[in-house]
Amino acid sequence: MVRVKAVAPEGLAAELGITTGTELLAIDGRALDDFLDWEFLSADDAFVLLARDPDGTTTEYDIERPEDVAFGIELDPPHVRRCANRCDFCFVDGLPEGLRQNLYIRDDDYRLSFRYGNFATLTNLKARDIARILEYRLSPLYVSVHVTDTVLRRRYLRNPRAPDVMEQLRTFAAGGIRFHTQIVLQPGVNDGPVLERSLTDLYALGDCVLSVSVVPVGLTNFSKLHLVREPTAPECRAAIQIVHRFAERALREREHRWVHGSDDLYLVAEEALPPASWYGEFEQVENGVGSVRFLQQRIAAHAGEFPRLPGARVAVLTGTGMGRLMGQVTAPLAERTGATFEVITLENPLFGSSVTTAALLPGGAFQAALAERSDLALALLPAEAVNDDGRFMDDLPFESLAASVPCEVRLSYDFGDALGTARST
Ligand code: SF4
């Protein structure tokens, strides 16, 4: 059963009298378990929908959907599938109270992998899930492979029942499913020859593996620090060498680089990031792969659209990872707009200084940094740091933060989205 959360006034559902709170039970006799069932089974022009109205009445709707008319409903969010693993670097179990609720959920959900690009390990799939992936052709999936050897992967995930991921990928590939994959590197566990083996195995699967990212493990104060450590600069350099070797081979044989190191891998290795052209279609930019080059490319492409802001003082707040590189990004912006850009780099007071990503910064850290900054015309905060409801990690709403500091604040993904309407001082 899936429940209707909202009904659009102009859609077919409103016309049929379907209201908020209606439970959608079945389509053409097939029970609806979640949004996937709804979306795939209601894709036909004509179908019979069995629903239970909020007053308990069961109604059968014989639906013929006119072309170009949306059904017009929003569903309650699905119950997220819980993770069956216990990775040493997972920080969820030790989190303090008072944070955003969804932070406490160790999710591992193939449906969200298909829909939102969340990485899933596929270790909690049941036979029915496998059948659904194949029937609905959920592609591409984002898969946390980490290591292809089953024994090592079970140890890595601390899950003795984790299935053979290569067999899973082969099964899905035979059904036309493709994958973006990631390998989170733990030194001494899945780097070196193990990384080579994993990349060799994934490459041998052929075109169904669309991309691979290699990301150094990031630990927080809540990780099991007695069991796992972050890779050192030489270890990251060694991983980069392996990645580049496979990337060059893929470029020769498949005309794209296929495997990339995340920006963090280069940062820890103290090596320069590759140029933008290296990243092809930036397939895993949301996983921190090529983020800096992507941002620079977008700024260059939209350079003519930035307003002149002579004399304005604009702060850009970010984490310690991006903070080291942000100067490269803001320099052309300053030139273009005439504004002065100040990069404010924040250490993460919640998860510890080893967490460098801006996305995990709590709202309180931004608030403290801006508390006395009435000299700023504008402060730009990373949009990735809030969820869909506009709340930071520590559950602080963006609106509350904006009301509490003496300068204008805006959320921004790429500067163009926030500077467009800025005024000069
Ligand atoms: S896969 Fe590992 S890191 Fe991810 S939620 Fe599960 S235990 Fe945590």
3-class DSSP string for the chain: CEEEEEECCCCHHHHHCCCCCCEEEEECCEECCCHHHHHHHCCCCEEEEEEECCCCCEEEEEEECCCCCCCCEEECCCCCCECCCCCCCCCHHHCCCCCCHHHHCCECCHHHHHHHCCCECCCCCCHHHHHHHHHCCCCCEEEECCCCCHHHHHHHHCCCCCCCHHHHHHHHHHCCCCEEEEEEECCCCCCHHHHHHHHHHHHHCHHHEEEEEEEECCCCCCCCCCCCCCCCHHHHHHHHHHHHHHHHHHHHHHCCCCEEECHHHHHHHCCCCCCHHHHCCCCCHHHCCCHHHHHHHHHHHCHHHCCCCCCCEEEEEEEHHHHCCHHHHHHHHHHHHCCEEEEEEECCCCCCCCCCCHHHCCHHHHHHHHCCCCCCCEEEEEHHHCCCCCECCCCCEHHHHHHHCCCCEEEECCCHHHHCCCCCC
Band of pLDDT at residue 187, cut at 50, 70 and 90: very high
Band of pLDDT at residue 357, cut at 50, 70 and 90: confident
Mean pLDDT, the chain, as a whole number? 92
d(CA 87, ligand 1 centre) in Å: 5
Band of pLDDT at residue 422, cut at 50, 70 and 90: low
- Indicate whether 420 pLDDT > 70: no
Mean pLDDT of 323-352: 89
What are the two backbone dihedrals, phi and then psi, of residue 136, each rounded to the nearest 5 degrees?
-85, -5
d(CA 324, ligand 1 centre) in Å: 28
> Quick check: bond before 140 cis, omega within 30?
yes
For ligand 1, atom 8: residue with the closest CA:
90
For ligand 1, atom 1: residue with the closest CA:
85
pLDDT for the residue numbered 91: 81
pLDDT for the residue numbered 421: 58
Cβ(82) – ligand 1 distance below 6 Å: no
pTM over 0.85? The answer is yes
Mean pLDDT of 364-378: 96
Band of pLDDT at residue 233, cut at 50, 70 and 90: very high
pLDDT for the residue numbered 57: 93
How much of the chain, in percent, has pLDDT values that exceed 70?
98
d(CA 118, ligand 1 centre) in Å: 12
Cβ(224) – ligand 1 distance below 6 Å: no
d(CA 181, ligand 1 centre) in Å: 15
- Indicate whether 344 pLDDT > 60: yes
User: Ligand 1: which of 80, 81, 82, 85 to mutate, most ligand atoms within 8 Å of CB?
Assistant: 85
Q: pLDDT digit string (tens) for 52-106?
A: 999 999 999 999 888 778 899 999 988 899 999 999 988 887 777 788 888 888 8
Adjacency order of strands within the sheet including 209-216: 141-144, 179-185, 209-216, 259-261
Cβ(86) – ligand 1 distance below 6 Å: yes
Cβ(121) – ligand 1 distance below 6 Å: yes
pLDDT for the residue numbered 218: 86
Tell me the longest C-alpha to C-alpha distance in the chain: 66
User: Ligand 1: which of 108, 182, 186, 220 to mutate, most ligand atoms within 8 Å of CB?
Assistant: 108
Cβ(87) – ligand 1 distance below 6 Å: yes
pLDDT for the residue numbered 195: 98
- Indicate whether 369 pLDDT > 70: yes
pLDDT for the residue numbered 216: 95
d(CA 155, ligand 1 centre) in Å: 13
Q: pLDDT digit string (tens) for 26-48?
A: 999 999 999 999 999 998 889 99
Band of pLDDT at residue 14, cut at 50, 70 and 90: very high
d(CA 270, ligand 1 centre) in Å: 28
In ligand 1, which atom is closest to the CA atom of 84? 6
Mean pLDDT of 203-218: 96
d(CA 25, ligand 1 centre) in Å: 32
d(CA 214, ligand 1 centre) in Å: 17
pLDDT for the residue numbered 302: 80
Show Cβ contacts of residue 162 under 8 Å, excluding neighbours closer than 6 positions.
84, 85, 121, 123, 150, 153, 154
pLDDT for the residue numbered 424: 52
pLDDT winner (highest mean) among 138-152, 286-300, 410-424: 138-152
Q: pLDDT digit string (tens) for 299-313?
A: 888 877 888 889 899
The encoded tokens of residue 341 equal: 């850009």
In ligand 1, which atom is closest to the CA atom of 83? 6
In ligand 1, which atom is closest to the CA atom of 157? 2
Cβ(223) – ligand 1 distance below 6 Å: no
In ligand 1, which atom is closest to the CA atom of 144? 1
What are the two backbone dihedrals, phi and then psi, of residue 311, each rounded to the nearest 5 degrees?
85, -10
